[in-house]
Structure 1
Amino acid sequence: VHGDAAIAGQGIVYEVVQMAKLDGYKTNGTIHIVVNNQIGFTTNYLDARSSTYCTDVAKVTLSPVLHINADDTEAVVHAVLFALDFRMTFKRDVFIDLLGYRKYGHNEGDEPRFTQPKLYKAIAKHQNPRDIYAAKLIEEGIIDNNYVSKLESDYKSMLESELEDSRKEDKTVITPFMQEEWKDFKRADLSEIMIPIDTKYDKSKLTKIADVVSTLPKDKKFIRKIERLIESRKTMFNEDKLDWAMGEHLAYGTLLEEGFNIRISGQDVERGTFSHRHAVVKVEDSEEEIILHNNISDNQGKFNIFNSLLSEYGVVGFDYGYAMASPNTLTIWEAQFGDFSNGAQIMLDQYISAAEDKWKLQNGLVMLLPHGYEGQGAEHSSARMERYLQLCSKDNMFVADCTTPANLYHLLRRQMKANYRKPLIVFTPKSLLRHPKVVSTVDEFANGSFQMLIDDAQANVEQIKSLIFVTGKFYYDLLEERENLGRNDVALVRVEQLFPLPIEDIKALISKYNNTEEIVWAQEEPRNMGAYSYLLLHFEEARTWRAATRRPYSAPAAGSSTRSKRRHQQVIDYVFDKTKNNQR
């Protein structure tokens, strides 16, 4: 249901209309009903669009449009029945432009004569649709005046009766939305979502899944690069060094084997923006699509992955709805680059972060947002971590910034193994996808669990003078620098789950390193971005820590590669030497 001003002016309408025939998003036809009151709040329709009709977006898909006089009751009924028949027969969109008027001002309390005095003089004198239709039926001898009076009297009596019945109820019971689909899930508060969830998986079954995603059909020909890439999955499994892509593939494979469904959508997700996923491979000659994840077992869940249209708002909205309709599907939307999600900001503000608080609606949508400073400029570096963290409160979602394939694997499995659903925001890497140190063992997959905090396994507690807390890819930059400097007095602790923050675990680690002379928060983002301000708000002790960050900037990153490297190194230098304060 649209308003005339909205269908003409809101870009989301065009995005959704473009989905109408796409495999990943089509619904086999939508009936669009436009309540056309020829005005948008106070704006006349001549100022609200350039097109002749508010429904001209329908021309994109050559959909029929029925322009109906809303005063003609029988025409309205006929149009709706026709639209329904058309949709069911041809499985295509159809639009009904219901041309009427708004009897009173916006929200029925506004004064419309301020801005449309002539129009509202005409409306004040105009008969309402009920009276117009009644007069027509009386003129045709179908009903009489008593019939209309009785209808009105009966309707008012029914309303009064219902009102009296409602007053006898002490408590209103609201039927949960999509009750049947959500009957096995419960709402969870902060204490419950911090309880660890068992995500282990049998090693022998894991080996079989690794074999499936590492084996191409022998009767089909693929380009040599694809053959080598798929073969490398088996090699890394046998060598016990699994990379980021294998972390994903094994998470999906194990969940499918356990009966969960997987849906992944977004721009270029089939291959992956950075060519790491290759969930869909193409036969060289025919371009037939092969999805190895659909060969896991006879009783597995469904695996669907779709390259989306070049849209964020519409696609995130669709996937949010999909996750709501199917809580047993791991529904993932991946941004091409993390900051591109700002095109879907309305979905983030009004639904993803707030729907459970506003409407008691759970949702398990996962957002994968590539994030990291690698000299790619202001629009391809930051996923705007600070914006998501600002939206966090109580128990409304999870925010994670993983540094190992195994931790991503367990994080995705945790998302489905829980008996509740929360949105999950994951800041994912770019350069780490092929980093030689970003690997995990098979045992870490089979017998591990999601680690909200990862301690420094190399640190000698007695020697540590500087305790560094860091999140994400920046850890590996600091690790390399520590090795170069030979600094055995520095411990690097990774915060893998940013929200809810594992406060007790952090406090325990601080107590463990009891010889520490200073605690440092290190981030590659500018001081006014990243997780720093969030940390100050949610962990009071952090206010005494030394913060090593870029200087505050309005742009997330420098456009110059040289300047970006210099700023990055300045932060690293300050982490290890407090005299090199880059904020001055």
Structure 2
Amino acid sequence: MDKVSYVGNADVNAIDHLYQSYKKDPESVEPGWQKFFEGFEFAQTDYENDGEIPENFQKEFKVLNLINGYRTRGHLFTLTNPVRERRKYAPTLDIENFGLTEADLDLSFQAGSEIGIGTATLREIIDHLKESYCQSIGIEYAYMRDPERKAWFMNRVELKNRPHFSAEQKKAMFLKLNQATIFEQFLQKKYVGQKRFSVEGGEALISGLDHLVTKGALDGIEEFVVGMAHRGRLNTLVNIFDKDFEQLFREFDGKEFEEDESFDGDVKYHMGESGVKNINGKDVRLTLAPNPSHLEAVDPVVEGIVRAKIDDYIQSEDKIVPVLIHGDGAIAGQGIVYEVIQMAQLDGYRTGGTIHIVVNNQVGFTTNYLDARSSTYCTDVAKTTLSPVFHVNGDDIEAVSQVMEIALDYRQKFNQDIFIDLLCYRKYGHNEGDEPKFTQPTLYKAIAKHPNPREIYLNQLISEGVMTAEEGKEIEVNFTKELQEKFDNSKKEEKAAIKNFIDHRNEDGFITATTAHFEQSPDTSFDKDKLYELGEKITTLPEGKKYFRKVEKLFNDRVKMIANNELDWGTAEMLAYGSLLSEGHPVRISGQDVERGTFSHRHAVVKTEDNEEEIMTLNLLSEDQAKFTIYNSLLSEYGVLGFDYGYSLAQQNGLTIWEAQFGDFMNGAQIMIDQFIYPAEDKWKVQSGLVMLLPHGYEGQGAEHSSARLERFLQNCGDLNVQVVNSTTPANHFHALRRQLKREFRKPLVVMSPKMLLRYPKAVSTMDELANGRFQEVIDDPRNIHDTANAVVLCSGKVYYEFIEEAEKRNVTDVAFVRVEQLYPFPKTQIDAVLAQYKNADKVIWGQEEPENMGAWTHVAMELRGRDIDVVARPRSSAPACGSKVTHARRLKNLFDNLFVKAGVTA
């Protein structure tokens, strides 16, 4: 039994029984207590009554309780705040609260061995505890339940075991701190009033990050991937990621988008960067992900990038480290933080532990921390996963580097998250033109008088004899001179180039798509014989295992489908994945209940009935196939979609899919769609081939399970930023998925996935349709009624089958139904070509099942402006669909009636 499991919260009134048992038989108590009792010199005590706990013995345990009090609550009484007095907490750590008095201060206690200083006086023990737990570093770890982690942490935070720095290391910290400070001061002079969201007051972030990266490189870490918001980003870019100063100065002058009039770009404090640093002969790659103004939105994206790199080529959680830099208001207020933290140990999303750093300005925009959270600390979300937390004074540069080093060691040893709460301040308001005294007059009065971290550390180094004042001044002057030279040179160049932030091992040759690339989809055919081979393998479960009866029937049904040449949606989808895997493209799918599929159509993972062994036939195709992975996600849309988006950025050779349980659930991830997936190529020059499968269709399931909000996806289309499809055949779905990896570029794909069509008898395809051809943007009416049709109905998705069925019931033969399978990029050329064949059709109608103010109608009307086109849809509505099956049926009948009236069909 580890000692940490019995020293804490010792109840002195319950010790007697243990001690008496130990005296009778040492083996009758746990090994930890045996060890403990052996260490005390009980013989020195004059026992008056052998049956009672001696007074000294009781005091030993009171001292142990005191030690435990410092370990568990010492962080509440630290000197971690550089500019404010800390809030007061009770009870304090005064000895009286532990049953001790001043008379005990000079008594010696064996309990000193518990903190590594051996038998010591109470005064010495308290001094040691204050130095360990109540100075510039506050530590929260006592709630951890794993004895090994807890013991490791307890050992590492002991003073003698903390990192100690040489004179050279201290000079390196000062050099980086100098760069951080002088860079901000330089910008303040050169670009008065321009937003830069400076790190002034928290410059220790830069020296701390530099120390983290240096230690990591020397320890064999090959990559760091960082996510952060705008605060301190420019400083991080130039002083950690080595972004060229001249480039940044050009961006301040607004020259970054002159090279391409069509490129919108983004503000400089949202941009990303990547590069390689050589540190003492060790190369380490650094990546900073771009981030919009939506704080913390980048967190899951970073995790996805890291996981993709691990899966693709690094093959080790120990060689790459994600670092997330938070603000204090955001980490406490943004739910995405909780979603990401809950991913940390999940098979489909783990990345080997994240180092979380909070730049704690103690104010969010203008809001005081007392109004920003109910928890004691902004980092209290860390406790949900029992992650340790450091609180550290940002004015104590060496303390910051100490916790960075311990945090990295902890992450590397246990592959779990750890948090660093960097207590600092914000010199200016939210931005450099803001007036913080409107809302924080007292705080900013204190900040105005407070020396910056550079001054504080320089004075410390001077007092230690590590540096002289003259050396400090010389370093300042030389760096200012370098900045001025870079500034002057920046005026000579015409443009500032924006580059893709992420290094792609397999993106060589990727191009920027043009309209011409969407005139026709690429060839996505696949050898028919090989398809049959794949079909046999994906429908064959390994023998000798016990399977659920319904699973066996489902796989047997797929065998029959292939034999009868009538493939349903699930079979075609599995064949699409199989074909890509056989060509060397890995496939990843994640989302809620995706392994079987919400509607039980996929069954990519089969569990044996007796021991729940997982079988994935898509990984049993051949020895040289790529890997298929599929994960049921945590109940999150925002976080998981962000993760898979990040994954798609770093794995361009594979197919990455996020599936919503129902399409309307995607609105929980709207920020990720609006800020990353749709505009990223136009903001940050980064391409993603992410696929979003969003079950969509009106089947009387109510407002929450009908609409994937197609209108929203179409409204944000522009600049060829995405593809939106609403396919009606398994074959077209097969080709849409394969198309993602058969182009010289990558585009996100939004799929209005079917529900009804998954098992609809007429929604089947042949093996020839899969083996040959390409994705069809438009599918003409198969009845060949070009000469007899009086009206043409353009439609999309499963409503096509309902229109056709109703036409058959009403014996309507002169209305053609043309399917628009791709809604963006809009296939106007193909539509025009099809409509040109209907010489006698004097009416063109857009028919949809969604309300008129939803669905694709406004998008289609805009794309076909100038053409006489009418619409048939449900009436405008505030809710996507009704909640009654009866009402649904009545409205559907009204839709049909309206359609055929507008098409000129008389009853």
Coarse TM-score class (shorter-chain normalised): over 0.9
Residue 224 (structure 1) aligned with residue 546 (structure 2): no
Structure 1 residue aligned with 2:381: 57
TM-score, structure 2 normalization: 0.63
Amino acid at match of 1:192: H
Equivalent-residue separation in structure 1 for 2:348 and 2:894 (angstroms): 45
Equivalent-residue separation in structure 2 for 1:497 and 1:159 (angstroms): 52
Structure 1 residue aligned with 2:430: 106
Equivalent-residue separation in structure 1 for 2:464 and 2:818 (angstroms): 84
Structure 2 residue aligned with 1:344: 669
Residue 533 (structure 1) aligned with residue 855 (structure 2): no
Q: Deviations over 1:336-387 (max 9, x none)?
A: 0001000000011111110111111111110000000000000000000000
Equivalent-residue separation in structure 2 for 1:215 and 1:580 (angstroms): 52
Structure 2 residue aligned with 1:237: 562
Residue 72 (structure 1) aligned to one of 365, 386, 396:
396
Equivalent-residue separation in structure 2 for 1:173 and 1:372 (angstroms): 45
Structure 2 residue aligned with 1:547: 871
Equivalent-residue separation in structure 2 for 1:58 and 1:227 (angstroms): 44
Equivalent-residue separation in structure 1 for 2:756 and 2:731 (angstroms): 17
TM-score, structure 1 normalization: 0.97
Determine if contact 1:247/1:409 at 8 Å carries over to the other structure.
yes
Structure 1 residue aligned with 2:462: 138
Shift of 1:421: 0.2
Residue 520 (structure 1) aligned with residue 520 (structure 2): no
Structure 2 residue aligned with 1:412: 737
Amino acid at match of 1:34: V
Q: 3-state SS of the aligned residue for 1:522?
A: strand
Equivalent-residue separation in structure 2 for 1:485 and 1:579 (angstroms): 13
Once the two structures are overlaid, the 10-residue window that deviates more, 189-198 or 122-131, is 189-198
Amino acid at match of 1:214: T
Structure 1 residue aligned with 2:581: 256
Q: 3-state SS of the aligned residue for 2:740?
A: helix
Shift of 1:490: 1.0
Q: 3-state SS of the aligned residue for 2:793?
A: strand
Aligned 1:460-499 pairs, distance under 5 A: 460-499=785-824
Structure 1 residue aligned with 2:305: none
Equivalent-residue separation in structure 2 for 1:4 and 1:74 (angstroms): 22
Amino acid at match of 2:858: S
Shift of 1:247: 1.2
**Residue 511 and residue 580 in structure 1: after superposition, are their counterparts in 2 closer, same or farther (change >3 A)?**
closer
Q: 3-state SS of the aligned residue for 2:431?
A: helix
Structure 1 residue aligned with 2:414: 90
Structure 2 residue aligned with 1:153: 477
Equivalent-residue separation in structure 1 for 2:449 and 2:509 (angstroms): 55
Residue 120 (structure 1) aligned with residue 444 (structure 2): yes
Determine if contact 2:504/2:652 at 8 Å carries over to the other structure.
no
Structure 2 residue aligned with 1:560: 884
Amino acid at match of 1:292: T
Q: 3-state SS of the aligned residue for 2:792?
A: strand
Aligned-residue sequence identity (percent) comes to 57
Determine if contact 2:343/2:350 at 8 Å carries over to the other structure.
yes
Residue 25 (structure 1) aligned to one of 334, 349, 352:
349
Aligned 1:284-433 pairs, distance under 5 A: 284-433=609-758
Q: CA RMSD in A?
A: 1.4
Q: Deviations over 1:16-71 (max 9, x none)?
A: 00000001111100000000010000000000000000000000111110000000
Residue 600 (structure 2) aligned to one of 272, 275, 286:
275
Structure 2 residue aligned with 1:451: 776
Shift of 1:174: 4.2
Shift of 1:171: 4.2
* Aligned residue-pair number: 580
Once the two structures are overlaid, the 10-residue window that deviates more, 265-274 or 187-196, is 187-196
Equivalent-residue separation in structure 1 for 2:637 and 2:880 (angstroms): 20
Shift of 1:579: 9.1
Equivalent-residue separation in structure 2 for 1:220 and 1:184 (angstroms): 47
Q: Deviations over 1:415-451 (max 9, x none)?
A: 1111100010000110111000000011001113210
Amino acid at match of 1:100: C
Structure 2 residue aligned with 1:179: 503
Amino acid at match of 2:861: L
Once the two structures are overlaid, the 10-residue window that deviates more, 279-288 or 126-135, is 126-135
Structure 1 residue aligned with 2:194: none
Equivalent-residue separation in structure 2 for 1:254 and 1:13 (angstroms): 37
Q: 3-state SS of the aligned residue for 1:461?
A: coil
Structure 2 residue aligned with 1:3: 327
Shift of 1:463: 1.2
Shift of 1:178: 2.5
Determine if contact 1:190/1:394 at 8 Å carries over to the other structure.
no
Shift of 1:193: 3.1
Equivalent-residue separation in structure 1 for 2:750 and 2:674 (angstroms): 13
Shift of 1:541: 3.7
Equivalent-residue separation in structure 2 for 1:291 and 1:196 (angstroms): 31
Equivalent-residue separation in structure 1 for 2:327 and 2:600 (angstroms): 42
Q: 3-state SS of the aligned residue for 1:265?
A: strand
Amino acid at match of 1:212: K
Shift of 1:237: 0.5
Once the two structures are overlaid, the 10-residue window that deviates more, 515-524 or 337-346, is 515-524
Q: 3-state SS of the aligned residue for 2:629?
A: strand
Equivalent-residue separation in structure 2 for 1:383 and 1:227 (angstroms): 32
Equivalent-residue separation in structure 2 for 1:520 and 1:48 (angstroms): 53
Determine if contact 1:456/1:493 at 8 Å carries over to the other structure.
yes
Determine if contact 1:573/1:580 at 8 Å carries over to the other structure.
no
Once the two structures are overlaid, the 10-residue window that deviates more, 557-566 or 396-405, is 557-566
Equivalent-residue separation in structure 2 for 1:271 and 1:180 (angstroms): 32
